[in-house]
Amino acid sequence: MVRMTRRAALAITVGLAITACGGGGEGAADSRTAAQPATPGAAGPAGAKYTIAVIAKSSNNPVFQAARTGAEAAAKELSAKHGIDVQIAWLTPPTEDGQIQAQRIQQAVNDGASAILISCSDAGKVTGAINDAVARGVPVMTFDSDAPQSQRFAYYGVDDIKTGNAVMAELATLMGGKGKIGILAGNQNAPNLQKRVQGVKEEAAKSPGIQIVGTFNHVETPQDAAAEVTRVGNAYPDIQGWAMIGGWALFTQSLLTDLDPNRVKIASVDALPAQLAYVDKGIAPVLLAQPVYQWGHVGVTTVIDKIHFKKDVPTIIPMELVKVTKANLGEWARQLKEWGFNDVPEAYLKL
């Protein structure tokens, strides 16, 4: 008995001590607040407090950290502008897991969150939890990756098939409409990525000179993605282009030296700081950026429009891709810096 007590006591003491050391810093939720019931059609009262639970796919992915920055900035701006108190509760799991996301939705509701903003890792897994939250009076909005069968009130993000189309169209232009290409496709289970692959293939079919040698899935880490590009390059020495439906491989620096810009061209989604060197060097002359900061900023603004101002918001709010090339590299770098990215290379900020 003593041994068991000791072991359990240690576990919990250490756990609580470490959480205490971790600090309740930014993003810590104040779930002592709740949505303020208000008359339909009228704005909520001045001084009202709102806690918006933000559940992105994974904390490991820098794009979601940018979304968090956007959400927190929007909360601050809206609080100051309208005399209300908007707090962000960051409930994103460390890695992608639809089941954990469903649990976090329940937790947010139990903690008295006013609304939930979520990017769904697996729409099927979270649909039930979203509907339960809505049934208990907590409105839910999705961003980046939707759960269209759920009762969420709005979705903000790109159209994934059109994104795939756009990537392939840019690549075909770079390659003069002919050559062998590979599709770098990330996690095979992610529905939004599957749609982007579909978009790439649809667009490629319009260029008879383009031949797709394969769709290559990988663990969504920069190192795994870059290693996959290298492996495929060795297996298919005549590959001339890459349609990257996510920017993972370009978050490393290894392909800057491993790929010859005169032989291989890349068109990729995302344009985060680490990817800018690929534009500069001509390896990825075109990046199609999702303004990921806006996931959080537009998401929180829309939620406040809905729950405080009682506005009717559109069910689908399209996010437009931003085309990043050498021509607007400096402008985009400064935009990233403004959005809270600290690792933007100084050289591009001066352009």
Partner 1 sequence: MRLFVRRLFASQEIGLVLVLVLVTVTLTTLAGSHPDRQTGETVNNFWNSYTLIQTATDASFFAVMAIGATIVIISGGIDLSVGSIYALSGVAMALFLRATGEMSPVATTLTGLFVCVGVGLACGLINGALVVGLRVHPFIITLGTMWVLRGIAFVATKAESILVPAPLTAVTKASLGLGGGLYPVPMLTMLALTVLGAIYLTRTTMGRRIFAFGGNLEASRFAGLSLSRIQIGVFAVSGLTAGLAAFLGAGFYGSVSSGDAQGYELYVIASAVVGGASLLGGKGSALGAMLGALLIVLIRQSIRTLHFDQNYEWIVIGCAIIIAVVVDQWSTRLTARRLSQLAQRAPAA
**3-state DSSP assignment of residue 234:** helix
Identified binder of partner 1 from the candidate list 83, 128, 282, 314, rule CB under 8 A: 128
- Give the integer Cα–Cα distance in Å for 49 and 91: 19
Site for partner 1 in 139-178 (CB under 8 A): none
How long is the chain? 351
Contact, 273 vs 66, CB < 8 A?
no
Options 13-21, 200-208, 282-290, 327-335: segment touching partner 1 (CB under 8 A): 13-21
Q: Is 47 in the site for partner 1 (CB under 8 A)?
A: no
- Give the integer Cα–Cα distance in Å for 119 and 13: 33
Sign of the CA dihedral running 70, 118, 101, 8: positive
Site for partner 1 in 208-247 (CB under 8 A): 217
For residue 271, give every residue at least 6 positions away whose Cβ sits within 8 Å of its Cβ, in sequence order, or none.
Answer: 247, 279, 287, 288, 289, 322, 324, 332, 336
Q: Is 122 in the site for partner 1 (CB under 8 A)?
A: yes
CB closer to partner 1, 12 vs 327: 12
- Give the integer Cα–Cα distance in Å for 93 and 113: 17
Q: Is 59 in the site for partner 1 (CB under 8 A)?
A: yes
Site for partner 1 in 73-92 (CB under 8 A): 89-92
β 322-324/286-289 pair status = antiparallel
Applying CB under 8 A, the site for partner 1 has a residue count of: 71
Site for partner 1 in 172-201 (CB under 8 A): 187-189, 191, 194
Identified binder of partner 1 from the candidate list 137, 176, 282, 318, rule CB under 8 A: 137
Options 2-10, 235-243, 323-331, 335-343: segment touching partner 1 (CB under 8 A): 2-10
Q: Is 14 in the site for partner 1 (CB under 8 A)?
A: yes
CA atoms within 13 A on the CB side of 53: 31
CB closer to partner 1, 94 vs 208: 94
Q: Is 110 in the site for partner 1 (CB under 8 A)?
A: yes
Q: Is 102 in the site for partner 1 (CB under 8 A)?
A: yes
CB closer to partner 1, 330 vs 340: 340
Identified binder of partner 1 from the candidate list 47, 83, 135, 202, rule CB under 8 A: 135
Q: Is 99 in the site for partner 1 (CB under 8 A)?
A: yes
Nearest CA to 91 out of 126, 47, 132, 134 is that of 126
Identified binder of partner 1 from the candidate list 76, 83, 106, 343, rule CB under 8 A: 106
For 81, the token pair is 């502008």
Q: Is 109 in the site for partner 1 (CB under 8 A)?
A: yes
Q: Is 41 in the site for partner 1 (CB under 8 A)?
A: no
> Shortest Cβ distance from residue 209 to partner 1 (Å)?
29
Nearest CA to 56 out of 111, 97, 85 is that of 97
Contact, 308 vs 82, CB < 8 A?
yes
> Shortest Cβ distance from residue 33 to partner 1 (Å)?
7
What secondary structure letter does DSSP report for 208? T
Q: For the chain, percent helix, then strand, then coil, each to nearest 5? A: 45, 20, 35
> Shortest Cβ distance from residue 77 to partner 1 (Å)?
22
Options 5-13, 78-86, 322-330, 331-339: segment touching partner 1 (CB under 8 A): 5-13
For 25, the token pair is 């810093």
> Shortest Cβ distance from residue 163 to partner 1 (Å)?
19
- Give the integer Cα–Cα distance in Å for 136 and 125: 18
Q: Is 30 in the site for partner 1 (CB under 8 A)?
A: yes
